[in-house]
Amino acid sequence: MKHKISAFLLIVGLLVNTIPLIAIDDYYNFPSQSYKGSVTFETNRSLCIFPFVATKEDVTKEYLMKGIPSVLLSELRNLEYTYVEYPRKNIVYHSFGENPISTLQEKIDAESPNVKRKRKEVNDEKDLDDLRIGKKQVSPEKDPRYIKITIKQMWDKKPLSPDEAYGAATKMGCDYILSGSFEINDNTLKTKVFLFDDYEGKTFPFEHQTSIIRAYQEMGPLGESIKEKLQGKETTFVEVSAGGLEGALVYIDGIYLGKTPLADKKFPIGKRSLFIFKEGYFPYKSDVLLEKGKKFQIDTNLSLKLSSSYITVTSNVESDVYLGIQYLGKTPIKRIAIPSGMNRLRLSREGYIDSFRGIDAKDDEETVVDIQMREGQTEVYYKNKQNVFLDHTYKDFTTYSIYGALLFYASYAYLNYASRQAYSGARSQVTLTDAVAITTFYQNNSNEFIFWYYTQNQIIDDAESKAKNLKRIAGTLPTENRRDRQLVAGPMVILMGLMLVSAATFYFLGLDQETLEIGYLPINPAFANQGQSAIEGYGFMQFHLRY
C-alpha cells in the first residue's frame, strides 16, 4: 500500500510539471513549407570494348583479336554522348505541402541570388515530356537525354559471347558491351560484332566483310554503323566552310569535328550549337538545326581581330606586304590596324628577294618599318631556307662555331697561364738555388741538408707535374712553340681546330649561286653584237659578301 501511494504521488507530480509536447511537423515548421517534386537523371554511361575471338584457331592471325576492336575504338573516340529517350532516374525528390510552387533547389536559389549556380532546365518528368513533344528546347548539355559516353578498353579480359554479356555487364560496371568474332577464308575477313545494351537488355548484331590485306583500312563503315546505333538518333551530313579560310576549328555541341573546309561529317539531328574558331579571328557562334534527310551546309566569314596596334610599311620598290598569311596590301602602307602580339612581316616582289621581319605589335603603338628590297631570286637566296636546324641557318652555325673556337682558345690561354703560375709559385718556395750555397750548406750540416733537399725536391716535382698536366690539356700552338714551331695536340687545341673546321664547313655549305658569280664581259658592251672578237673582253669572278 505504501508503494502504491508513492507511485500515485510521483505520477501527479509529473503531470503538474510536464513540458508541453510539440508535434514534429510544428517543430520543423513543415506546415509552412511547400516544395514541388524534382528528379535527377543519369549523366554518364560506359562502353566496354572486349577482344574478339577467332572462329578458327590461327596463331598467325592472333593480332586481330585486339587489332579489330582497336580500329573500332579509333572510330568511336569522338563519340561524346548517346541519346536515350527515357534516361534512368537517379534521385527522386517527392513533393510535399499545400500547393507547391517551386522545387527545393529553386527556393534555395531565390534566397541566395548572389550565389552563381548552374541552372537546371529539366526538373521533372513534365519538363522531359515537354522536350519530347518539342514544347521546350534546351542545348544537349542541359538535356538529360544526351548522356556522356566513357569508353573502357578491356584488352586484358577474355572475349565475350552474347550470352556472357548479360552477367559481365553488371559485374564490370558496363552499360554497353562491344565484342565479337572473326573468320578468315582465303583472303577474306568476315567480322561479326554484337553491341549489348544493359539498360534495354537487348543485343544488336553487326556484320562486315573485307579483304585481309586491307582489313583495318576498310573497317570504317562498320565503325560508323556502331557509332550511329550508340548515338541513338538519326544523323545527317554536315558541311562547314569559312569563306575560303582554311584551318578553322569546327565544334558542334562542344564536340570537335575537324578543320575547315569540313565536308561529309555525320552528326545527330536536332537543335545544335555551332562554334568555329581560328587564332587571330573572332569566333563564330550560332544555334543551328540539323534536320533528318537534309544535308546541313554553312559558309561564314570570320572577322579578323583588330586592335589599337598599327603598322606603317615603306620600301624602295612597290612590294606586296603580308603579316603572317594575311595580305595587307602594297607598299607604301600607312597606319593599318593589325592584331597585337608577335608576328612575321614579309615583303615580296617578282625579281626581288623576299624580305622578312619580326614584328612585336603593342596596343596603342604604331610600328614603322622601312625595307630596302634587293634584286635577286628568292628561291636561290633562301636555298632550302638556309635552315640547318629549326630556324638556325648556315650563317648561325658558322657564327656559333667561331664563338666555340674563341671559347676553347680562351681555355687554352688560361691553362697556359696556370701552367706558368705553377712554376712561379714553386720558385718562391725554393730557398737555395745557387750551387755554392748548396755546397756550403751540405758541408756544414749534412743531416739537415738531406731533409732540406727532399723537401725542396718534392716542391719542384709537384710544380712540374701540375704544370705538365695543365700544358697537356691545353696543347701547344706553333706560335707558342718558338723553338721548332711544332704543333702539339691537346684537348683545347683539338677542339679549337674542330670549331674552325666546322665554321669553314658551314660557311661553304651556305654559299649559293648569288654568293659567287662567274661570267664574261666585253670591253664595250654596246658593240658586243657587231662582230667584236672574244679577245676584246675579259672574264670575271665576283664574290658577294652574304654574311
3-state secondary structure 222-290: HHHHHHHHHHCCCEEEEEEEECCECCCEEEECCEEEEECCEEEEEEECEEEEEEEECCCECCEEEEEEE
Segment 483-493 shows an average pLDDT of 76
Above 50 in pLDDT, residue 67?
yes
Give the Cα separation of 268 and 291 in Å (integer).
9
Check residue 416 and give its pLDDT.
84
For the ranges 248-257, 346-355, 359-368, 440-449, the one whose mean pLDDT is highest:
346-355
Lowest mean pLDDT among 4-8, 42-46, 285-289: 4-8
Check residue 51 and give its pLDDT.
92
Check residue 525 and give its pLDDT.
46
Check residue 318 and give its pLDDT.
93
Give the list of residues 6+ apart from residue 396 with CB closer than 8 angstroms, or none: 388
Above 70 in pLDDT, residue 145?
yes
Asked if residue 513 lies in contact with residue 382, where contact means CB atoms within 8 angstroms, the answer is no
Segment 249-257 long-range contacts (CB within 8 Å, at least 24 positions apart): 249/276, 249/277, 249/278, 250/274, 250/275, 250/276, 251/275, 251/276, 251/277, 252/288, 253/80, 253/139, 253/140, 253/141, 254/80, 254/141, 255/78, 255/80, 256/78, 257/78
Above 90 in pLDDT, residue 52?
yes
pLDDT band at 18; cut points 50, 70, 90: very low
Give the Cα separation of 514 and 511 in Å (integer).
8
Above 80 in pLDDT, residue 305?
no
**pLDDT per position as a tens digit, 186-214:** 888 899 999 999 888 889 999 999 888 88
pLDDT band at 388; cut points 50, 70, 90: low
Give the Cα separation of 325 and 487 in Å (integer).
55
Lowest mean pLDDT among 258-262, 277-281, 305-309, 447-451: 447-451
Supply the mean pLDDT for the chain. 77
Above 60 in pLDDT, residue 533?
no
Above 70 in pLDDT, residue 499?
yes
Nearest to 199 by CA among 69, 68, 41, 38: 41
Segment 118-136 shows an average pLDDT of 73
